Amino acid sequence: MKTLQKSAIALAASSLLATAAFAQTAPAAEAPEASPITANVTVVNDYRYRGISQSNFKPAIQGGFDYAHESGVYIGNWNSSISWIGDSYGLSGGNSGKGNTYGNVSAPIEMDFYAGIKKELIGEGFASDLGVLQYYYPTSGIPNSNGAYANPNTTEIYVAQNFTFGPVTGFAKFSYAVTPLFGNINSTGSYYPDLTMNYDTGFWGLALNGHVGYQYVAGSQLKGTTNWQGTQYQSGSSTGAISNSTLYSYTDWKLGVTKDFGGGLSASAAYVGTTAATVKGSYAYSSPNGSNLGKSGAVVSLTKTF
């Protein structure tokens, strides 16, 4: 593609005089229509989703595409490398058993499929959005849990309201899980309200970003059950239960800045964190080495949009 680009530039330079001779009489060329299909690819130092690291604080590569029809209907797919499912079967993972390890467990990618409709029902710059999102995790080698935890695949429906006030843009969104949420048993009905705001500084392509959300995890767990992050409920009687909300609900936040380089290239840097709980001396969202996957940290990314 670079070779074709250079050739086009050379051709344009060689024919500059001829082009100028006809510029007075030739009709103005119309701008090409924007394609309804866009694609994106991102490299990030740590994949954080709702504040929780999905890659154990390691880099991830991400990408996807979107198709938006003029009617407002859209569909899309987005993917990212992950490690959190496989990590839970490591030597220190909560699903590894008594010193055993399932070395053949493979779950290296998250695949998101979504569709919806977005229309400016209130006015220009105020698009309302209604859709459904399927999180799919191709996995292999995972043993039978006998009901100790749920499948990590998750379906959510969502409604969002976008807004524009001069240089300030953003959206308020509410997501609702119609299946168990990311492997937490009995968690259908979990929800996530969040607010995202951006401020265009008008200087050097910089925008300030802010985000806050609350992940509520519905349902309850019995003694001995385990979530896919590797956290196990150990206390209480064999018939006792503790609410998933007590174990896994939390608030997440982000403060950052985005730089637009033009040509579809942008970079972002942010500081993110959560209030993810400590449970029985360990973290609710724990890495194989026992660290808190929701701890505060910096996230830096580079994105190219086509």
Q: Hey, which residues does 216 pair with through a beta bridge?
A: 191
Which residue did the predictor score with more confidence, 259 or 285?
A: 259
The reply to whether 183 falls in a domain is yes
Average pLDDT over residues 29-37: 72
Domain extent for 86: 34-305
Q: Is the confidence at residue 222, as pLDDT, over 80?
A: no
Average pLDDT over residues 169-177: 98
Q: Is the confidence at residue 228, as pLDDT, over 80?
A: no
| Domain at 123, CATH number | 2.40.230.20
Round to whole Å and give the CA distance between 173 and 48. 18
Q: Is the confidence at residue 272, as pLDDT, over 80?
A: yes
Q: Tens digits of per-residue pLDDT, 52-79?
A: 999 999 999 999 999 999 999 999 999 9
Q: What is the tally of structural domains in the chain? A: 1
Q: Is the confidence at residue 95, as pLDDT, over 80?
A: no
Q: Residue 45: how many CA atoms within 13 Å on its side-chain side?
A: 11
Average pLDDT over residues 276-295: 82
Round to whole Å and give the CA distance between 295 and 273. 6
Average pLDDT over residues 260-267: 96
Q: Which helix or strand (DSSP H or E) is residue 182 part of?
A: none
The reply to whether 277 falls in a domain is yes
Residue 150 one-letter amino acid: A
The reply to whether 65 falls in a domain is yes
The reply to whether 25 falls in a domain is no
Q: Hey, which residues does 211 pair with through a beta bridge?
A: 196, 254
pLDDT at site 144: 61
| Coil/strand/helix, residue 261 | strand
The proportion of the chain whose per-residue pLDDT surpasses 70, expressed as a percent, equals: 73
